[in-house]
Amino acid sequence: AQTVTQSQPEMSVQEAETVTLSCTYDTSENNYYLFWYKQPPSRQMILVIRQEAYKQQNATENRFSVNFQKAAKSFSLKISDSQLGDTAMYFCAFMKQPSGGYQKVTFGTGTKLQVIP
Partner 1 sequence: DVKVTQSSRYLVKRTGEKVFLECVQDMDHENMFWYRQDPGLGLRLIYFSYDVKMKEKGDIPEGYSVSREKKERFSLILESASTNQTSMYLCASSYSSYNEQFFGPGTRLTVL
Positions in the binding site for partner 1 (CB under 8 A) = 4, 9, 33, 35, 37, 43-47, 50, 91, 98, 101-105, 107-110
**Cβ atoms of 27 and 104 closer than 8 Å:** no
CA distance 49 to 71: 20
We find the least distance from the C-beta atom of residue 117 to partner 1, in angstroms, to be 26
Comparing CB distances to partner 1, the nearer of 19 and 32 is 32
We find the least distance from the C-beta atom of residue 75 to partner 1, in angstroms, to be 15
We find the least distance from the C-beta atom of residue 112 to partner 1, in angstroms, to be 10
We find the least distance from the C-beta atom of residue 48 to partner 1, in angstroms, to be 10
Comparing CB distances to partner 1, the nearer of 14 and 40 is 40
Comparing CB distances to partner 1, the nearer of 18 and 103 is 103
**Cβ atoms of 113 and 12 closer than 8 Å:** yes
Nearest by Cα to 105 from 48, 25, 10, 7:
25
Number of Cβ within a 10 Å radius of residue 25: 20
CA distance 84 to 68: 26
